[in-house]
A and B are shown apart, each in its own frame.
Chain A
């Protein structure tokens, strides 16, 4: 597609439920990032995928968080047993050559855990 697409745009869930957030990057972009942005805060790195290489999971805050990227394209971020502190905007970004072109960001998924 023309841009990075994230779905859903908004998600309200009950504490303890599992949620799945989806990112559809720009076709051909091999690099994909997930970030978390809490209200009034900066960007917190979560996970990075580059082509077929093993992902960099060093930013995942706990083992309740996981992510996968199927076929080098669509990525899904899963949060199990959600907690209120998981409430944030989850941003996805992709790039073909990050050092030359930077990243294109999606509009994010606003997750609210009640």
Chain B
């Protein structure tokens, strides 16, 4: 079956540091890949997505590139802010049993300190 593996965290960075959160996946088909963000006390929000190999998703300064050869979708940001403190979930959507099914990673908590 499909699976998503991401670093467990927590990740603690100083403001303006470079961020990488690793995500690798296993899928039987050709999945779409997503990053979701959950700010404290809120629900999940879609952060960015990529629907095919070599696509780059980007939003709010975050980027992730769909790498089929390494089955990865690592999240990066060049300069994090305190307001980026949240839990980040990597996810894939793949066709299974006739419909799209979503698999989430366990989430990585990011804490940015001033």
Contacts and interface: CB of A to CB of B under 8 A. Distances in A.
Interface of A: 31, 33, 35, 41-43, 45, 48, 50, 53, 56, 91, 93, 95, 97-108
B66 to A, nearest CB: 13
Interface string B6-43: 00000000000000000000000001101010000011
A33 B46 CA distance: 15
Given A53-B98, A102-B93, A42 B104 contact: yes
Nearest to A103: B102
Interface residues of B, number: 26
B62 to A, nearest CB: 14
A100 B32 contact: yes
A91 B93 contact: no
Contact of A108 (B34, B43, B106): B43
A109 B46 CA distance: 19
A105 B43 contact: yes
A33 B98 contact: no
